[in-house]
Structure 1
């Protein structure tokens, strides 16, 4: 029997329940939706979580499509799923946890006696520590972004190669291999010996079917490659970036992009221009570096200095 919160499944079974995280402001018990998929045969344990940022819904879409597809009688090992981590942010469609105004993916490994976010992080991190590998499903918030997997432990970490291999197995086509900020799950879990990646499934308002499909396929790749499911996979060559160059607006107005997401960028290429409401060009911005056009704001209107887009830099293939 394998349990996560109130969910408990014998070999060959699936169960759902709640992982307690304390009480809400009206004194009601609060819990995260969780699922245990316990394979009929022994094997590894995979941990999956989604929506640690409350407005990043594509990961929830992946979980919603993935779980009904998995037959535990045909599975080896166990999958532990937290379907919505930042339940408070999710309920009000906000990125941060509104209880303590914290970005959840900066709170790991957490503190069971700490703030709301620290308690959620501690409860989920306890589950992570039971796993052999972990997937923390994200997206580029509501901006526009390519599909990528992020390796956040840093190139000098003793688990870097294992995390990079996991990212390549997920196979989004692009990898960001850059040490992340303190408090990220993909930083904290490798310190405990658990290879962990942060798939960023595009960027959308609401649910994006293409990104969700990419995420489901990525998880299935991992399940197959690591022995949870029978079969073989063949990963293609992926583009890796190890840095970012960000560009702000040199003038206020409306942005027109000259490139599509995923396009190669060469130093001197025009990236975008800013016009006024009457079509008069006020400013143009060119690339300072070679790289890949990685991410952009979603809405065209900008103020001077406001974020416009990012180029992935120091690019190679893996």
Structure 2
């Protein structure tokens, strides 16, 4: 029997070293690939060269294809549906992204709603569909831009990461690529660059990028938000959900890339992957409608918010990692308050012998845990949200 703490610390030190080495070699490859790609006849990412709505001339299922969008080019008081032409496939065809523009009858703020950055995140798609179904452009002031299926190849496979064929088959997390690079060293980097420069950034005053937990993990309802930023705080608190994770997490998240160019953004997390959670989704629909009301895009009073449900705010996440392989028995529930040293799980081998017991290293609330009944060593098992004196960036956070 062995507690997770000793092996966990050793493993994290080893992983930090390994990640640093891998990151250094990856950076060299990326720089070499980008340098070569800059010779191509494509504008450099972030130059601001993409202006106006550009129609490719193609039509798919009755919807026009665009390669650039300016919502101001579209008729007011109407809903518009397009396919955005993303990066090319290995065969030379394109991945297309579904886009809905709801342009109000009157001018106003522009709010972007995004889902499908990860291919196994299905509740976010349904959430945005539900919001759009409630919008009446004749009563709106401003615009809602809905981008529903960012990582199309990942979504087709119900796979979290983009299956990139650059060096055999890589699985690349596009939420570690933003703002992307139209001339980058991988297809997802270029895809992110196209969307960021030609679709998202030019049409956003505020943005919400919806996610779920990764496959094999379940999460509470919470918002990842940088609460030191007034508008991000205001948006996050408008959702009647259970938790707020006050942390920037990784710099390459879409929300952070948008914040870096002056667009307030947050990242809601809607429970588990691979499902449509009809119990949790209404909370996020109400929160999104509250955001649209705050910025005057839709009329009406603000509904239920985080203050009405006693939302818990933490600025750090403690992740309990498995030290053994075996069958996992969880001893806590989502949103349960735990104390430092409290036992949260045990693990048995095939003989039924207990091979490991796991405890929380902090006092806080359970915000996520593994749903698969087995685990190898080094797998995130339980995540505890807590408040620390100095905000700690999570090592194993998987938005």
TM-score (norm 2): 0.72
- Inter-partner Cα distance in structure 1 for 2:289 and 2:128: 12
- Inter-partner Cα distance in structure 1 for 2:324 and 2:180: 41
Tell me which of 54, 60, 66 is aligned to 2:125.
60
Contact map agreement 2:124 2:211 (CA 8 A) in 1: yes
Matched pairs, number: 310
Question: Residues 55 and 229 from structure 1, CA distance in 2 versus in 1: closer, same or farther, beyond 3 angstroms?
Answer: same
Once the two structures are superposed, residues 1-23 of structure 1 have per-residue CA deviations (whole angstroms, 9 ceiling, x without a partner) of x9586387411100111111132
- Corresponding residue for residue 200 of structure 2: 128
- Corresponding residue for residue 148 of structure 1: 222
How big is the shift at 1:204? 2.9
How big is the shift at 1:300? 1.4
Tell me which of 248, 252, 260 is aligned to 1:191.
260
Question: Residues 265 and 202 from structure 1, CA distance in 2 versus in 1: closer, same or farther, beyond 3 angstroms?
Answer: same
Contact map agreement 1:55 1:95 (CA 8 A) in 2: yes
- Corresponding residue for residue 95 of structure 1: 160
- Inter-partner Cα distance in structure 1 for 2:95 and 2:254: 22
Q: Which has the higher helix share?
A: 2
- Inter-partner Cα distance in structure 2 for 1:250 and 1:29: 43
- Corresponding residue for residue 268 of structure 1: 341
Secondary structure in 1 matching 2:381: strand
How big is the shift at 1:278? 5.3
Asked if residue 105 in structure 1 is aligned to residue 193 in structure 2, the reply is no
- Corresponding residue for residue 255 of structure 1: 328
- Inter-partner Cα distance in structure 2 for 1:3 and 1:232: 34
How big is the shift at 1:230? 1.4
TM-score (norm 1): 0.90
- Inter-partner Cα distance in structure 2 for 1:190 and 1:253: 42
How big is the shift at 1:253? 2.3
Question: Where do 5+ consecutive residues of structure 2 fail to align?
Answer: 1-51, 55-64, 166-170, 390-399
- Corresponding residue for residue 217 of structure 1: 286
Tell me which of 365, 381, 392 is aligned to 1:292.
365
Q: Which has the higher strand share?
A: 1
Asked if residue 139 in structure 1 is aligned to residue 222 in structure 2, the reply is no
Contact map agreement 2:209 2:254 (CA 8 A) in 1: yes
How big is the shift at 1:110? 1.4
- Corresponding residue for residue 107 of structure 2: 42
- Inter-partner Cα distance in structure 2 for 1:108 and 1:161: 23
- Inter-partner Cα distance in structure 2 for 1:254 and 1:222: 43
- Inter-partner Cα distance in structure 2 for 1:52 and 1:109: 13
- Corresponding residue for residue 188 of structure 2: 117
How big is the shift at 1:189? 0.9
Question: Where do 5+ consecutive residues of structure 1 fail to align?
Answer: none
When structure 1 is superposed on structure 2, of 260-269 and 96-105 the one drifting more is: 96-105
Contact map agreement 1:39 1:74 (CA 8 A) in 2: yes
